[in-house]
Amino acid sequence: MNRHVWIDSVSPAVDGGRFPAKRIAGEPCVVDATVFRDGHDALRAALRWRPEGARSPVEVPMTLVNWGLDHWRAEFVPEKPGRYAFTVLAWTDPYSTWLADLRKRAGAAQRDLSSEAREGADLVRKALKRAEGEASQAARAALRLLETPDADPRAVLEEAARLEPLMAVLQERADLVVREPELEILAERERARFGAWYELFVRSQGTVPGRGATFREAERRLPELRDLGFDVVYLAPIHPIGKTKRKGRNNSLVAQPGDPGSPWGIGSEAGGHDAVEPALGTLADFDRFVAAARKHGMELALDFALQCSPDHPWVKEHPEWFYRRPDGTIRYAENPPKKYEDIYPLNFDTPDREGLWAEMRRIVLFWAARGVRIFRVDNPHTKPLEFWRWLIEEVQEEHPDALFLAEAFTRPPLMKALAKLGFTQSYTYFTWRNTRAELTEYLTELSAPEMADFFRPNFFANTPDILPRILVEGGRPAFMMRLVLAATLSPTYGIYSGFELCENASMPHHAIPGDVEYADSEKYEIKVRDWNAPGNIKDLVAKLNAIRRENPAFRRLDNLRFLETDNDRMIFYVKATPDRSNVLLVAVNLDPSAPQTCTVRVPARVSGAAPGGSYEVRDLLTGAVYAWSDVNYCRLDPAVLPAHVLRVERRLP
């Protein structure tokens, strides 16, 4: 059989369809395809989609949006979180082909169209076999006119044109081609794409030096985090902490009496990954904390760290789940020259692979049953990729609204693979991108369609493990600058406790040249902070989070565009909604040590103003209003405020 119809370049399709593309539930998913055939016959194309598991698909006609490039488009809305299958089908349309020819003949004032009318009548007669009710009546009425000798050509053409939509449905699809296999969409809730995260240690939310806080005491901070505009409260591990080989302050090898240990040394006689550290309270107290966060409009993210202290119950119950040294002892974790003798890594190649994997699934579902729907996964790149594909699909089958953040500071191909296999979001290299060239290159990569289809960045400005050198050297102006960049470049961003206080006391990090770690790290001791200490930038945090919520352009990454400035120490970018009803112009001084100026050109197609025309912009950080045009001047003093966040308000006469 000769094949005449071809379907090519269907999108979205990640790696040709090996992995699902990611979209947001409740929003249109646009599907594009190149559809063509040899010759000049007319074509029809359709999008066919269905929720995973559904037997009856929905068919949506596609529209030819670019005739010269054979570009067709349609869309569907995945209403709820979950997986959806879709494909594209196409076929030759004999009736539309005939009608186009009839129009040409009529346009040439050809009077005798009887032969052509008979051809059309044959097509309608065949279609009548599939017509019922009103459709049958309409087709028969057209057939009578087409079969009428010496019928008025204009009347024939008008009736034939009226029948075209119905014939598109009734005709046999004789040379139908279906794109196989089906492609897949993973639709997730809005929090998968947009949100402000705040990371904290429960034990450090108290007010008494040297005494750890409980869940109930930590609840007192929730109203403040709500007022600062955070959506997600991310907790460092809350599980029992082991005592064997417990680390002391500043990661010292020997803990002193009273040292609380690292929360990542999980497991003690009090339990393992499905228990809470007794010093924090009980599971009932945890449940109350989850409910309190929800009451304040926030949700909880839990750290999911697949490692154990030597005191973890699994060490005795499942010794086969751990690596062994030649002398038979269990191997502890190492990252030379560092030794983590308080942590045993799990062996995912254990002969009891099935048992280990099932236990990991049980743990996640245990916390999901207690209301947790976001999991920040510690070092996922050190575990098998197929494990993550399996685990995430298993969890989301029961809880389609579950989200997973990959803490994968590793090589780009591995980070991308984790995202393709199901991780909702990922940490990124943003922490180490500081110059205009670095930021522009990296964000251009992240916002490109082929990347945005599967990779969602979460721009953490700092973490308990990472104190960027620019924050140490640049002080408060650098904290403000990096906060604005994180909050306005990426739809999802986060800060770790103390960022709002501009904490930057550091000690050298010898393992990674050029990087630094926090002095007196909270990972190994209890902190008590004055959350209103002088010099804090809480007002800026609250303002930026409010701006993000009020301006839908900040909810997307694929709408980012950089504009050229004449000063490399100034960066300027634009975010806008597709209909340009919300246009934001952001300027940031990347030099925390001195004021910088620049001239920036804003094309009219970016601002929405007429070429050469003026328009009004409002700085959402200060309330100041400016008249702008195609070319504009900026001066930003980092000691005062290192950024403009300008919203285009209206055109000026």
With helix as H, strand as E and coil as C, how does 73-113 read? EEEECCCCCEEEEEEEEEEECHHHHHHHHHHHHHHCCCCCC
pTM to 2 decimal places: 0.93
CATH match of 94-170 with 1.20.58: yes
Topology (CATH level 3) of domain 1-93+175-188: Immunoglobulin-like (2.60.40)
pLDDT tens sequence across 119-143: 777 887 877 777 777 777 777 877 7
pLDDT at res. 492: 98
The ranges assigned to domains in the chain are 1-93+175-188, 94-170, 192-313+346-552, 555-651
- Please identify which of the residues 93, 199, 219, 407 carries the catalytic annotation: 407
Nearest to residue 540, comparing CAs of 616, 472, 478, 621? 621
Element at 198 (helix H, strand E): strand 195-200
pLDDT of 474 higher than 90? yes
pLDDT at res. 198: 98
pLDDT of 338 higher than 80? no
pLDDT tens sequence across 408-463: 999 999 999 999 999 999 999 999 999 999 999 999 999 999 999 999 999 999 99
As a whole-number percent, the residues of the chain with pLDDT over 70 amount to 97
pLDDT at res. 113: 67
pLDDT at res. 123: 80
pLDDT at res. 612: 81
- Please identify which of the residues 184, 303, 378, 500 carries the catalytic annotation: 378
Architecture of domain 192-313+346-552: Alpha-Beta Barrel (3.20)
The label of the residue with tokens 């639709």 reads 187
Contact 264, 241 (CB under 8 A): no
pLDDT tens sequence across 250-278: 888 889 998 999 999 999 999 999 999 99
CA–CA distance, 36 with 9 (Å, rounded to integer): 11
1-93+175-188 and 555-651 share one fold = yes
pLDDT of 512 higher than 60? no
| Average pLDDT, integer, range 14-18 | 95
CATH of domain 555-651: 2.60.40.1180
Contact 87, 179 (CB under 8 A): yes
Higher pLDDT, 115 or 300: 300
CA–CA distance, 41 with 90 (Å, rounded to integer): 13
pLDDT at res. 150: 72
pLDDT of 543 higher than 80? yes
pLDDT at res. 473: 94
Q: Is 172 a catalytic site residue?
A: no
pLDDT tens sequence across 59-101: 999 999 999 999 999 999 999 999 999 999 999 998 888 888 8
Higher pLDDT, 111 or 464: 464
pLDDT tens sequence across 32-41: 999 999 998 9
Strand, coil or helix: 30? strand
Q: What pLDDT band is residue 226 in, cutting at 50, 70 and 90?
A: very high
CA–CA distance, 252 with 254 (Å, rounded to integer): 6
CA–CA distance, 159 with 149 (Å, rounded to integer): 15
Q: Is 407 a catalytic site residue?
A: yes
Strand, coil or helix: 16? helix
